[in-house]
């Protein structure tokens, strides 16, 4: 089996410009790219930001295709009981949807939000607030033709594939899809279980390694994920899109991507 691999700009965020990051990713031989829309690289709501047509042309000149965009969600919370925080989070997602459309990307990566760790709101209230926020975002998603990829993650109240599927099916929009991040899935329930739960709703996949119970995004082979089993699970549910290497490996961004491709090749997952 052979994966179509892409790379995220995540690891390059603070030490390289966006132009340099894209050049490096292209030089490593990748065709697909996912953009982290986080300053200093890029901020989707910024009306003074770089021209989107120029950015798209730059990627095309490098032979790169934007697959997904998304902000860093530790600052955002679609399920906050604070209406100002919720509104700011919806605003961010909406502008990322418009950016994705302008760049030709098909997915905006999205995390549902979280409950207060000290005094959490009731789960049913948290769920409903997130549902309302997603419905607001989905108006724009349908208008611009870009899907929202809902990602389970350990710090969120949507932490499993089954949680994501429940929200997706409860809303019932074709523009709300599922996203599996192998590291985040392994840290909670396991990659195969998460993939099977999201099943036919899966629209985007991010790959990195980790160990149980830890929020890490290491190069492939630096953790404990069985990537043969993970990819077999993706194939079993019919996923045939690109898989994006989303590493947090700022010490050596190029090296992390390079060794991940090498190790996936050693187990027969890339040619």
Q: Where are the domains of the chain?
A: 5-266
Report which of 16, 32, 40, 27 is spatially closest to residue 69, judged by C-alpha positions: 32
Does the pLDDT of residue 42 top 90, yes or no? yes
Question: How many whole angstroms from its chain centre is CA 236?
Answer: 21
pLDDT, the chain, mean: 96
Q: What is the pLDDT of residue 250?
A: 94
What is the pLDDT confidence band of residue 215, given thresholds at 50, 70 and 90? confident
Per-residue pLDDT reduced to its tens digit, 130-156: 999 999 999 999 999 999 999 999 999
| pLDDT digits 0-9 by tens, 90-100 | 999 999 999 99
Cα 161 to Cα 150: distance, rounded to the nearest angstrom: 10
Q: Confidence band (pLDDT; 50, 70, 90) for 269?
A: confident
Any idea which architecture 5-266 has in CATH? Alpha-Beta Barrel (3.20)
- Cβ(28)–Cβ(254) below 8 Å: yes
> Averaged over 195-210, what is the pLDDT?
98
pLDDT at 127 > cutoff 70: yes
Residue 209, CA distances (Å) to 162, 186, 212, 229 in order: 21, 8, 10, 13
Can you give the pLDDT at residue 1? 57
* pLDDT at position 46 over 80: yes
Two tokens, residue 241: 């899109």
Q: How far apart are the first and last CA of the chain?
A: 9
- Looking at the whole model, is its pTM more than 0.75? yes
């Amino acid at each position: 089996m052979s994966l179509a691999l892409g790379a995220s700009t995540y690891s390059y965020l603070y030490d390289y410009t966006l132009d340099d990051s894209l050049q490096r990713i292209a030089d490593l031989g990748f065709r697909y790219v996912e953009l982290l829309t986080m300053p200093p690289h890029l901020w989707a709501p910024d009306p003074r930001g770089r021209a989107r047509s120029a950015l798209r042309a730059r990627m095309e000149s490098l032979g790169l295709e934007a697959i997904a965009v998304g902000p860093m969600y530790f600052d955002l919370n679609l399920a906050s009981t604070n209406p100002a925080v919720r509104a700011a989070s919806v605003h961010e997602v909406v502008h990322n949807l418009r950016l994705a459309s302008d760049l030709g990307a098909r997915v905006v990566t999205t995390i549902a939000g979280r409950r207060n760790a000290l005094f959490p709101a009731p789960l049913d209230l948290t769920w409903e607030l997130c549902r309302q926020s997603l419905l607001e975002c989905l108006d724009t998603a349908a208008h611009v033709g870009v899907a929202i990829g809902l990602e389970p993650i350990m710090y969120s109240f949507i932490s499993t594939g089954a949680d994501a599927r429940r929200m997706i099916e409860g809303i019932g929009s074709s523009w709300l899809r599922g996203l599996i991040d192998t590291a985040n899935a392994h840290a909670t329930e396991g990659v195969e279980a998460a993939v099977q739960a999201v099943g036919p709703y899966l629209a985007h996949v991010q790959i990195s390694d980790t160990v149980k119970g830890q929020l890490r995004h290491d190069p492939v082979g630096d953790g404990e994920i069985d990537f043969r089993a993970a990819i077999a699970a993706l194939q079993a549910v019919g996923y045939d899109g690109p898989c994006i290497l989303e590493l947090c490996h700022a010490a050596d961004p190029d090296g992390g991507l390079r060794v991940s491709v090498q190790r996936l090749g050693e187990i027969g997952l890339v040619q």
